[in-house]
Structure 1
Amino acid sequence: MPSSQYTPQIRAALLAAANAPNHRLRRCKGGFTAPPADRVRTSGQAAVPVITRRTILRLERDGLLEFEGRDEYATTVTLTTDGLDAVRELRGDAAVDAVA
């Protein structure tokens, strides 16, 4: 999918995952978020911006993210190679490093 067709939620999710350590998002109250883990709460109101499960599922369906262990109830998702390429296209450069 060309970057011009990404919704604002998809763009935000891709950029959040790209900037997160190891390109991973962690499940929290209300969806997924990038660490730092000390600010992530599992109950109560979310104190950090979250990415909804619907957005994560769309990215997973498009092959841009994958659930850890390919489990539907996984607590983390990671950018795939295609996801990293999409982020490079969004940023307009090749400065995204593929930390495994």
Structure 2
Amino acid sequence: MCYARSSIRSTIDRYKKACSDDSNSGTVTEINAQESAKLRQQIQMLQNSNRSLSNWRTGLSEASLGSDSRNRKVLASKHGDWARAECNLLRKLMLQ
């Protein structure tokens, strides 16, 4: 009789442990999915920023080809504000 109780007890303990392990793996899966989504979003933002920065450089180069040095300085200062904002965005993304 004592053996049967101990066997049942160990079966119940194994069942409880298995149930708790399953629930923990569910949360780990959810955490991984959330982290993955967050990283995908950051990658997308970085790609967009990179694309915008490349377009800005191309536009600045094309605009400065036919301009005198004073106009190039004006163009650079206008785009400088945008570039600083872009750098700040990239820093924020890296800190997340």
Identify the TM-score tier after normalising by the shorter chain: under 0.3
Larger radius of gyration: 2
Greater share of residues in strand: 1
Q: If the length of structure 1 is used for normalisation, what is the TM-score?
A: 0.23
